């Protein structure tokens, strides 16, 4: 039986938080299973992990700038969105969640996700007090209503020294959700998100 991830095009968005290092683990797991992974990093993600890590893992360029064409001259946001069979944002910070919930397009990741018609999976990661805020919960509820899949966050020790909900879901758990989504979708099939 062929692995459901083999030769599947996955867009991995990495936003800026301490959990960005877990995105490298997630990326590695996907590539080892045969997925073709393209990474978009937000400007703040570059403060936590380097693009070269993802370039080494994927064998592909990492994208960060909306107006610097590397591969798709009609716009990276168009080309990357069209290629993706699934998009995952890990970690999804409060800032990224707010951008998506409000339809903002002020960086390459948010602009690309507005174009994506494939399923989108978000793995939130932030301080537990931030996660509990009504504004964040409203944004998450809006994204669920819009058809996004949310995995996590998990409870545990956070980098701020607190214990609570806010840890990015384990990369293995995220891979499991990705497999479930792609199993329903089928190679080259249409998205379940109606946008």
Catalytic residues: 160
Token pair for residue 66? 């909306």
CA dihedral over 154, 155, 158, 164, signed as positive or negative: positive
CA distance 57 to 40: 13
Q: Phi and psi (nearest 5°) for 40? A: -115, 125
CA distance 27 to 58: 8
Instruction: Count the Cβ atoms, other than its own, within 10 Å of residue 154.
Output: 15
Q: How far is CA 186 from the centre of its chain?
A: 20
Q: Which ranges of 17-145 does DSSP label H, i.e. alpha helix?
A: 20-32, 51-58, 76-83, 94-101, 108-115, 128-132, 134-145
């Amino acid at each position: 039986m062929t692995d459901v991830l083999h030769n599947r095009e996955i867009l991995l968005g990495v936003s800026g938080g301490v959990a960005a290092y877990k995105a490298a683990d997630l990326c590695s797991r996907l590539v080892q299973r045969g997925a073709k992974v393209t990474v978009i990093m937000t400007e703040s993600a570059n403060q936590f992990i380097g693009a070269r890590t993802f370039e080494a893992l994927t064998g592909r360029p990492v994208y960060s700038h909306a107006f610097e064409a590397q591969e798709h001259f009609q716009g990276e946001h168009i080309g990357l969105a069209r290629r993706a069979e699934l998009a995952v944002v890990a970690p999804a910070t409060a800032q990224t969640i707010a951008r998506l919930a409000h339809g903002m397009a002020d960086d390459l990741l948010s602009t690309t996700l507005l174009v994506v018609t494939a399923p989108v999976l978000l793995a939130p990661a932030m301080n537990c007090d931030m996660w509990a805020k009504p504004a964040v919960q409203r944004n998450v509820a809006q994204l669920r209503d819009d058809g996004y899949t949310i995995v996590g966050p998990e409870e545990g020790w956070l980098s701020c020294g607190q214990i609570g909900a806010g840890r990015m879901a384990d990369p293995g758990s995220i891979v499991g959700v990705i497999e479930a989504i792609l199993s329903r979708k089928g190679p080259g099939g249409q998205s379940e998100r109606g946008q």
